[in-house]
């Protein structure tokens, strides 16, 4: 028990002192004897045990710093890849071609959080007719659930064969089934595709599109679905980009569109 307590105290002390150590690293090194170092360590440990709120504050600050660093890295990656995000002709898009703002969503039809986001996105699309929306089919659950991959391929094929209106009808129709996390079937996909008169016999090969999207998502740093990026269609800067590495609510999306529009 004493050993566990010692390890825990040391770990917590390390976390709490990270911001201090960063500053101390820039200052001239002080020389302490082993006895002085032990005494300083005990004083610090005793203080933290007596004031555990300091540990919480330090942990929260460290988490904030890490989140800010991750957000900045993601934004820089978006700027580097903005042409692939907003101008890729193989990506299904909906809305005016000259729209100032583009909302890009990376999603999987079998992702439950994508399913929760779907009605929100549908409403945002209706309320923002001057905004472009790009749909990055990213079937990350395809190796687990075959319908994930089938639905993504069919969506891309419908877009290339029938256009934006048909694609959006299919896209919303798949989510409207309410079947996610392995519940979607090939029959469900076929039924939604049939509604837009999709001709499977003339379906183009879209494997390269899926691979390109997968590589793009990794370059941006997305670790799962959904992932939403709101940015100017051209000339994006760090100040005008918003990255949502997960579920986003309508108010946040609306605010991001306004920010991107200038």
CATH number of the domain at 248, please.
3.40.30.10
Which structural domain range is residue 236 located in? 80-261
The count of domains in the chain is 2
Burial of 86 (0-12, 13-18, 19+ CB in 10 A): buried
Q: Are 257 and 242 contacting, i.e. CB atoms less than 8 angstroms apart?
A: no
Same structural domain, 128 and 32? no
Q: Are 220 and 78 contacting, i.e. CB atoms less than 8 angstroms apart?
A: yes
Lookup result for tokens 């825990």? 8
Same structural domain, 26 and 91? no
Last residue of a domain, one of 73, 97, 113: 73
* 64-121 pLDDT tens trace: 665 666 667 778 999 999 999 999 999 999 999 999 999 999 999 999 999 999 999 9
pLDDT of residue 71: 66
* 230-256 pLDDT tens trace: 999 999 999 999 999 999 999 999 999
pLDDT at 262 over 90: no
Same structural domain, 86 and 166? yes
Which 3 state secondary structure label does DSSP give 134? strand
Report how far residue 155's alpha carbon sits from residue 203's, in angstroms, rounded to the nearest whole number. 10
Last residue of a domain, one of 45, 73, 101: 73
Which 3 state secondary structure label does DSSP give 15? helix
Same structural domain, 54 and 105? no
Last residue of a domain, one of 14, 42, 73: 73
Same structural domain, 127 and 200? yes
Mean pLDDT of the chain: 87
pLDDT of residue 40: 85
Count CB atoms within 10 A of the CB of residue 255. 13
Same structural domain, 212 and 171? yes
DSSP state of 144: T
Same structural domain, 54 and 177? no
Report how far residue 120's alpha carbon sits from residue 246's, in angstroms, rounded to the nearest whole number. 13
Count CB atoms within 10 A of the CB of residue 30. 7
Same structural domain, 65 and 11? yes
Same structural domain, 69 and 137? no
Report how far residue 233's alpha carbon sits from residue 101's, in angstroms, rounded to the nearest whole number. 5
């Amino acid at each position: 028990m004493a050993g566990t307590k010692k390890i825990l105290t040391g770990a917590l002390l390390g976390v709490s002192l990270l911001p201090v150590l960063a500053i101390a690293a820039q200052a001239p090194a002080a020389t302490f004897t082993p006895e002085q170092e032990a005494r300083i360590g005990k004083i610090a440990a005793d203080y933290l045990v007596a004031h555990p709120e300091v540990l919480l504050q330090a942990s929260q600050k460290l988490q904030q710093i890490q989140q800010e660093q991750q957000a900045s890295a993601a934004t820089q990656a978006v700027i580097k890849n903005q042409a692939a995000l907003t101008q890729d002709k193989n990506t299904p898009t909906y809305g005016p071609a000259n729209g100032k703002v583009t909302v890009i969503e990376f999603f999987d039809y079998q992702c439950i959080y994508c399913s929760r986001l779907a009605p929100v996105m549908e409403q945002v699309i209706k309320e923002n007719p001057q905004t472009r929306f790009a749909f990055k089919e990213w079937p990350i659950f395809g190796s687990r659930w075959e319908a994930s991959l089938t639905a993504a391929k069919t969506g891309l094929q419908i877009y290339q064969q029938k256009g934006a209106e048909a694609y959006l009808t299919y896209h919303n129709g798949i989510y409207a089934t309410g079947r996610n996390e392995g519940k979607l079937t090939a029959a469900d996909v076929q039924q939604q595709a049939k509604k837009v008169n999709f001709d499977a016999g003339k379906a183009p090969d879209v494997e390269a599109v899926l691979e390109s999207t997968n590589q793009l998502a990794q370059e941006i740093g997305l670790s799962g679905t959904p992932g939403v990026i709101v940015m100017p269609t051209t000339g994006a800067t760090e100040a005008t980009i918003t990255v949502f590495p997960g579920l986003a609510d309508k108010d946040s999306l609306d605010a991001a569109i306004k920010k991107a529009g200038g």
